[in-house]
Amino acid sequence: MDFLMGKGKTMMQSLKWRVSTPVVVGMVLLGCGGAGQTQPTVIGPAVQTWVTLTDQSKLLSLEAGKNFTNKQSTLPLNIAVDPLQRYQEIVGFGANISDASAWLIQNRMNAQQRSALMADLFGKAPGIGLSFTRLTIGASDFSLRHYSLDDVAPGQTDYLLANFSIDPMRADVLPVLKSALAVNPQLRVMASPWSAPAWMKSTNSLIQGTLLPQAYGAFAAYLGKFADAMEAEGVPLFALTLQNEPHFEPPDYPGMRLDPAMRARLIAQNLGPLLAARKTPVRILDWDHNWDEPQAPLQVLADPTANPYVAGVAWHCYAGDVAAQTQVHNAYPDKETYFTECSGGDWKPYWAETLPWYMRNLIIGTTRGWAKGVLLWNIALDENHGPHTGGCTDCRGVVTINSATGTVTRNFDYYALAHVSRFVRPGARRIDSTSGLDGIESVAFQNSDDHSMALVVVNSATAERRFTVTSAGQSFEHSMPAASVATFVWAGAP
């Protein structure tokens, strides 16, 4: 297929697509060939191929170079990449800087180890260029203790928020976050509360319960003060969600139920107007929960007063199907989509099973499902799946930090992110690519700065697949072993 030029263009006209493209002439000179003579081969852009195999023999390894050419392929599987069909702009890829992650980085690594890890996670190549992260507003299960940012003695209240403070973040979270920003100033930061302060809730506890009707204004002000405090620290927030997993009340760590009607009221009457009045805008994202309840964010977006204040919808992976993102996008195409949490763990420890699932669902599925940003859960945990206080006992971080030595193990979560984050920069656009070919899934992007293309492909089949990649009237062939991942990068036209 010829995406950039009509079929009637001559070979010489096609060479104008990229002036610097080298040409190899066959047995005859270009333009002098007659019937029966060998056709010249036009050599197009060079292709870098980065490969990860689930036997771990190759981990984001650069393969021998290849080029696009005008040779006709006879392979039945073809991934057609069309940069003229453009979709959402990319904010970034990354993981959550939880209390546990920050504590490990600050307290179980020496200065040299910390610096190397920050450069690896957030820096340009050879780093993997993470550019999006999420914070907890108060404690989650991955904290060393349960707390909010406005705790008072039992039986007391603080509707004026006189006791509000981000001091619990100063020892670990803020230093790690500022280190990440020093490496990557483009890093976008969002945040989510796991619970309102206990005195605002029906249980008078961080555990379970819902927000008291009289506390709506105070809770909105609490989130607004958090945004102000972070900005004062040099960390402006990109987005906020009202509540992490608002339809789940965990029994042993902070949580709070907020049904769609409550969230719509809170946004429409309290948080929306409050954040809209700020000089520095902060997006409100609804839901921040699983794919299995698309009707929940749809109810909030259907509220005519809340809707204008909602920038988009955030999703988690733990139930349902990634197709829910497209369902909600199609109903409200003006709203943004973000994927904000998924954790791997010992329940799925095998590379050959889990890495392809990650790529199909969390990288390719989420971005083909309109996600502008993609986040995994803890960016780092220790060898004992912690530290944590309640909640998940066998979760895995993007990296594992040995609590005794500070050494780092890069898990397949790391490589799943790296296959896209290193090559797709903030401001890139998702572009069209063929997917769903006999176990082959793909997603493609074009960067806005240098116009380079990045095509991410996973072979989820149990056998090798050979296919053609076609773009701008040229193509190359590639073979992928079973359960493997590849990212192809090449120069694109402005």
How many percent of the chain have pLDDT more than 70? 92
Q: Is 477 a catalytic residue?
A: no
pTM (predicted TM-score): 0.92
Tell me the per-residue pLDDT of 453-469, one tens digit each, with 9 for 90 and over: 999 999 999 999 999 99
Alpha-carbon separation of residue 190 from 79, 144, 233, 278, 339 (angstroms): 34, 21, 15, 16, 12
**Is residue 12's pLDDT more than 80?**
no
For helices 99-107 and 111-122, angle between their N-to-C axes, nearest 10 degrees: 140
Q: Is 245 a catalytic residue?
A: yes
d(CA 186, CA 181): 7
Per CATH, domain 91-423 is 3.20.20.80? yes
Tell me the per-residue pLDDT of 176-190, one tens digit each, with 9 for 90 and over: 999 999 999 999 999
- Classify residue 201 by its DSSP letter: B
Q: Provide Rg for the chain, Cα atoms.
A: 25
**Is residue 64's pLDDT more than 90?**
no
CB atoms within 10 A of CB 97: 23
Give pLDDT, residue 37.
55
Start-end ranges of CATH 2.60.40.1180 in the chain?
11-86+434-490
Tell me the per-residue pLDDT of 96-139, one tens digit each, with 9 for 90 and over: 999 999 999 999 999 999 999 999 999 999 999 999 999 999 99
Tell me the per-residue pLDDT of 69-95, one tens digit each, with 9 for 90 and over: 999 999 999 999 999 999 999 999 999
Q: Kindly name the residue from 341, 353, 441, 477 that is annotated as catalytic.
A: 341
Q: Kindly name the residue from 245, 383, 464, 477 that is annotated as catalytic.
A: 245
For the domain 11-86+434-490, what is the CATH superfamily, name and number?
A: Golgi alpha-mannosidase II (2.60.40.1180)
Give pLDDT, residue 40.
73
Confidence class for position 26, pLDDT limits 50, 70, 90: very low
- Maximum alpha-carbon separation in the chain: 94
Mean pLDDT (whole number) for 303-315: 98
Give pLDDT, residue 19.
31
Tell me the per-residue pLDDT of 269-287, one tens digit each, with 9 for 90 and over: 999 999 999 999 999 999 9
